[in-house]
Structures are given as structure tokens and as C-alpha cells.
Amino acid sequence: MQYIINAAFFINIFIYDINFYITHILLHKYAYHIHTIHHDSYNILSWRTTYKAHIIENILQNYVFLVLYMYGSKHIILAYLYISIRGLLNHEPRCRFIFNNHHINHHKYRNCNYGEYYIDYLCNTLHNYDTDQQEKLPKTLQ
């Protein structure tokens, strides 16, 4: 039973990550005028900008929690808590020691790093870290 509980938790996170990646790319390619609200804060990027987005974007990227809940996922609240904390840390430059510059580089270049590191790696949308060091970040992000 314990293994089923743990598996359900990680499956919920994986489903969210796939949904986020797909909707994030679609927003960049077809609805950037909506997504630009989130990206216009690059020079003041911090944990406070995690959910700074258009209402349509927040619905598109989070409706999966409602769907999983309706299908009886008992672990969706823990998964949502984990994903929310991960999102806050991904946008906080002071937490680069945890996530490197993965999502911060997405805000810098806007054509890479659309999701979590493992998905970007598998989908070939990962930024080449060898060509970008942390020292090249704007002074407000160092």
C-alpha cells in the first residue's frame, strides 16, 4: 500500500509537469501576449513573480489539479504543495544552488527551459549551460 501512495504522489507531479511544459510552449508560440505578463518581470525576478501571470495562463497551467482531484487522487494536495514550493524556488535567484539557473535562464532567453530540467532534456529544449555562467546574470539577480 505504501508504494501505491508514493507512486500516486509522483504520478500527479509528472502529469502536472507534462501539462505545464505543453501549455508553456503553446503560450510562447501562440499566445505570448498573454504570457508576457509573467515575463515582463525578468529584471526583478523573485519568488513573488511565480504566480504573476494572466488569469488564462494560471487556469491553463493549473486546471490539471482539478481534473486529478475529480478523478479521486488522494495525493493531489501534497503534490500541489510540493509543486508550489518548487515554483517559488525556481523563480528565486537566491535559490540557484538548488536549481542552478534552469528557470532563470528561461526568463533570460525565452526560447528554452520551458519546464522542469528532465523534460527539457528529453524534449531537446534545454539551454546549453556551458555557454552561460551565473556571472552573466543581471546585477539584480546576483
Tens place of pLDDT for every residue, the chain, 142 residues?
Answer: 455 567 888 888 898 899 989 998 998 899 888 887 777 765 556 656 666 777 888 788 777 877 877 777 777 888 888 888 888 777 777 776 676 677 777 777 878 888 888 999 999 998 866 555 544 544 444 4
C-alpha to C-alpha distance for 135 and 114, rounded to whole angstroms: 22
One-letter amino acid of 72: G
Host H or E run for residue 8: helix 2-30
- Residue 101: other Cβ atoms inside 10 A: 20
Q: What is the pTM of this model?
A: 0.77
C-alpha to C-alpha distance for 123 and 125, rounded to whole angstroms: 6
Sequence-distant (≥ 6) Cβ neighbours of residue 133 within 8 angstroms: none
26, 48 in Cβ contact below 8 A?
Answer: no
Q: What is the pLDDT of residue 30?
A: 92
C-alpha to C-alpha distance for 23 and 30, rounded to whole angstroms: 10
